[in-house]
Amino acid sequence: MTTVRGIICDPVQRKTFAGEIIIKNGLIERINKMDHVPDQTILPGFVDAHIHIESSMLVPSEFARLAVRHGTVATVSDPHEIANVCGIKGVDFMIENGKKVPLKFYFGAPSCVPATSFETAGAELDVDAVEKLLQREEIHYLAEMMNWPGVLNDDPAVLAKIESARKHGKPVDGHAPGLKGENARKYASAGITTDHECFTKEEAVDKLHAGMYIAIREGSAAKNYSALIDLLGEYPGKIMFCSDDKHPDDLLRGHINEIAVRTLALGYDLFDILHACAVLPVRHYKLNVGLLQPGDPADFIIIDNPGSMKVLETWIDGIPVFQNNAVQFPEIKAPIINNFDPYEVSPDDFRLFSENRNQQVIIARDGELITERETVTLKIINGEVLPDPDRDILKIVVVNRYQKQPPSVGFIRNFGINNGAIASSVGHDSHNIIAIGSSDELISRAINLIMEKRGGISAICGDKEDILPLPVAGIMSNGSGRKVAAGYERLSRMAKKMGSRIQAPFMLISFMALLVIPRLKMSDKGLFDGEKFEFVKQ
């Protein structure tokens, strides 16, 4: 039997009192009020209501070693990224590796693998595959239904996956950027219960009125907190917090605790914040995660005070997993799983020949997954359309990592790279290799570095080159979180030395192939209009 004392913030009864928690066999046996306790505060542990663990570039066991430092006790995790690469084997890898550590990973069944038919993925999960996943106890929900056109158009396969989740009593996550009005209502009426893709308050309110919960996202690339946080005061029982994608350097610094302390500083009610950070995700997804109630699993955190949210200890199932500024469980060496067909590319592969000098250019936006589009007149010499670095119009290419195919080539603005190139095999959702650079030669060098390692992020700056290998599915490292974070930061600094003004260039580049987010993106098959869902003629 273990006793923990402090100022207890009960998120269910919404009251604060001095007390002690009596723990037996991993559960809270009882809670007693007391007159005198240590000067520390006890809160429920934080839950990330929607995250792709793979985007941390860490396997689940190593993600856990960073996350528990920040008071995270559980995640609602969509293994969509590795499923696009390795299929069911990838989902199994995430589940099994996650079981080796105390943090509670709640994985969903990826609903859209591949995300669209306009790109090449490494696997396909059809209706039968999704049904088999949803039958499993380790699968807790149907992950984000990003094929919103399929929902609106009553696509039989899409509706069958949703019905399968409902049959098994498991919630369905949404992903429908920009949907409002009647479209939002129809999307929600199909049985979809959440959305984390809202860019505006107006859009979020429409979805709330349609009966959905809103997860306010503040990740490494997509940051919607400022646009949406007013919703917490207006709809306090219907808001959750999530990161969606958290790169390793950001995860080293903080997680959901950062959102909590930021929100408290704005004057929002502590218990509304705890409801968003813990109560609603636990109840909505039926997680076996404690909320500081007798009989609950003893999952909680000890902080110095709510104003700073500095995590002193994290407890999961009655065991301190972070204490005395140290993680209390060991590193796990993960096996390698991959699906990569490496081959060499050359500068000539990236020459774009066209008679059209008026090219559609992707306009990247720092901190946003959504892009804009612009028609720009470019030079044509000997039939080849040329980039214009002086106007910050660079080449963007996507190379098929599963089989040797001609790459797709286009143009992008706002990355600001001079005399260099960056490349990544983290390219949502299919994770082909995506690269941006100031010359075909530098682009090919950056891509070949990744081919040699069968995955990674790379940077070329003149004669200097560097790579962070990602051997697990070409999207994760099997090394320590701190080393991966250091490598990621090193490459980010290198990109910025080339002139990039993007806060997280490797995060943003990974979303330039995300076809389900408008407006203009690039797949391995060509330039893609994310609003019309069709390729753009170049």
pLDDT band at 531 (very low <50, low <70, confident <90, very high): confident
pLDDT value for 369:
84
Percent of the chain with pLDDT over 90: 92
DSSP 11: T
- The most distant pair of C-alpha atoms in the chain lies apart, rounded to whole Å, by 84
Q: Which amino acid is at 430?
A: S
End-to-end CA distance of the chain: 69
CB atoms within 10 A of CB 349: 16
pLDDT value for 123:
96
Give the whole-angstrom CA distance, residue 58 versus residue 76. Answer: 16
pLDDT value for 227:
96
pLDDT band at 462 (very low <50, low <70, confident <90, very high): confident
Q: What average pLDDT score do residues 318-333 get?
A: 96
Which range is least confidently modeled, 137-146, 256-265, 462-471, 500-509?
Answer: 500-509
Give the whole-angstrom CA distance, residue 332 versus residue 59. Answer: 9
Give the whole-angstrom CA distance, residue 200 versus residue 197. Answer: 9
Q: What is the pLDDT of residues 182-229, one digit of tens each?
A: 999 999 999 999 999 999 999 999 999 999 999 999 988 788 999 999
Above 90 in pLDDT, residue 160?
Answer: yes
| DSSP secondary structure of 307-357 | TT--EEEEEETTEEEEETTEESS----PPP----------GGGG-EE-S--
Query: What domains sit in the chain, N to C, each tagged with a CATH number?
Result: 2-322 (3.20.20.140), 347-535 (no CATH)
pLDDT value for 222:
80
Q: What is the pLDDT of residues 363-407, one digit of tens each?
A: 999 878 889 999 999 999 999 999 999 999 999 999 999 999 999
Task: Specify the length of the chain in residues.
Answer: 538
Specify which residues 214 forms β-bridges with: 195, 239
pLDDT value for 431:
97
pLDDT value for 234:
97
Give the whole-angstrom CA distance, residue 77 versus residue 470. Answer: 20
Q: What average pLDDT score do residues 158-163 get?
A: 98
Computed over every residue of the chain, the mean pLDDT equals 96
Above 80 in pLDDT, residue 102?
Answer: yes
pLDDT value for 324:
96
Above 80 in pLDDT, residue 504?
Answer: yes
Element (H, E) at 526: strand 526-529
Residues 6+ apart with CB under 8 A from 379: 357, 385, 386, 388
The three-class DSSP label of residue 52 is coil
Above 80 in pLDDT, residue 487?
Answer: yes
The three-class DSSP label of residue 2 is strand
Q: What is the pLDDT of residues 11-53, one digit of tens each?
A: 999 999 999 999 999 999 999 999 999 999 999 999 999 999 9
Give the whole-angstrom CA distance, residue 391 versus residue 374. Answer: 13
CB atoms within 10 A of CB 371: 24
Q: What is the pLDDT of residues 219-277, one digit of tens each?
A: 887 889 999 999 999 999 999 999 999 999 999 999 999 999 999 999 999 999 999 99
pLDDT band at 362 (very low <50, low <70, confident <90, very high): very high
DSSP 407: P
Give the whole-angstrom CA distance, residue 191 versus residue 163. Answer: 8
pLDDT value for 386:
96
